[in-house]
Amino acid sequence: MVPEVVQTMARAIWSGSLSFGLVNLPVRMYAATESHTVHFHQIQRGTSDRIRNKRVNERTGKEVPAEEIVKGVDAGDSYVLVEPEELDDIAPGRSRALEIGGFVDLDAIEPVYFATTYYLGPRGKDYAKVYALLHKALQETDKAGIATFVMRNRAYLVAVKAEADILALHTLHWADEIRDPHDEIGDLPGRTKIPDRELKTAVQLIEALGTAWRPEDYHDTYQEQVRRLIEAKRKGETVEKAQEPPESTNVVDLMSALQASVDSARGGKKGKKSGPTQRRRGKGHSAGTARKASRTEDLTELNKAELYERATEAGLPGRSSMTRDELLDALSGSGGRSHAKAS
């Protein structure tokens, strides 16, 4: 007998009432993202002993129990001490209200203000119509509802907007949390005169490298390398070091670098047609070109920059986010690296 698979729903991290005008919509909030970062433990070198952090008195070096620890703010010649209970007394509490005070154009919210994204769902089927109504209205007007609410003893400024077929809540940074770039960056260029020829070529390069936004084409190659490193060390093997970053473009060679980049980008797009049909054919065409290239030269002798150039000529999708090994595998076709070595 095959055991029944029970699919568990995600646990809501907040629930309350979203209101706009006199309309109230009970909602639940869910995390929209999760981290795929590899988490390491601290181990003493040469052993399998875990390292534990302890709270110690910096003067005596002795460990201090949690109940004897209070919070303090440096006031210059002394510390202002605050008891945990005092913070609890002034905390606004866990609010159940998410009241939209107004609706703004989405384009008016600068990207730097966006912090974390959550999903909002109706708290039961009875509220599906109100939920769908707000979603459709936000979609039609291209606006976001701005509200404040409290969660886990902290106040948040948020924007509620329509995304695909759901309502999303984006926490926003407060205005006084946004740093002025002119105060942070001392060497920002002023009004720099850009020659028309260089600007025109730069625009051509951007247009030549234009592509559809498909987030699934991009992946965290560093975390993949971390996992490869862990697996290689588990097997007693080694992994190849990453390539050094390219040198900065010399201002004298800027025009030639721009033009070479445009020529390379255009060369990789020769014969391509836009649209879904081309995307379905593109992989096969690219793989065929790649296999042809792998038969005429030993790809394993090329560095990452040279492999990327071959990938551009072959029109390989997602090449900008590939590692050297991935470029090599893709250019070698279905035969893998052994195919490249045998060519």
Best mean pLDDT range from 117-126, 281-290, 312-321: 117-126
Please answer whether residues 17 and 25 qualify as being in contact, where contact means their C-beta atoms are separated by less than 8 angstroms.
Answer: yes
- Judge whether residue 299 has pLDDT over 50: yes
In sequence order, the β-bridge partners of residue 31 are: 118
* pLDDT given for residue 9 in this prediction: 65
At residue 320 the predicted structure's pLDDT band, cuts being 50, 70 and 90, is low
Note the pLDDT of residue 57: 96
Among residues 203, 216, 232, the alpha carbon closest in space to that of 321 is found at 216
The CA-CA-CA angle for residues 156, 34, 143, to 5°, reads 45
Class of 14-31+92-177 in CATH:
mainly beta
Q: For 135-150, what is each residue's pLDDT tens digit?
A: 999 999 999 999 998 8
Q: What torsion do the CA atoms of 12, 173, 321, 314 make, to the nearest 10 degrees?
A: 100
* pLDDT digits 0-9 by tens, 202-233: 888 888 888 888 888 878 877 888 888 888 88
pLDDT tens digits, residue range 38-80? 899 999 999 999 999 999 999 999 999 999 999 999 988 899 9
Split at pLDDT 50, 70, 90, the class of 111 is very high
DSSP 8-state secondary structure symbol assigned to residue 137 = H
Report the residue count for the chain. Answer: 343
Position 343 scores a pLDDT of 38
Residue 340 exposed, middle or buried by CB count within 10 Å (0-12, 13-18, 19+): buried
Residue pair 242/224 in contact (Cβ under 8 Å)? The answer is no
Please tell me which residue, 21 or 249, carries the higher pLDDT value: 21
Q: Residues of the chain with pLDDT > 90: what percent?
A: 38
Confidence (pLDDT) at 6: 46
Give CATH 2.40.290.10 domain extents, the chain. Answer: 14-31+92-177
> What secondary structure letter does DSSP report for 245?
P
Residue 237 pLDDT greater than 60, yes or no? yes
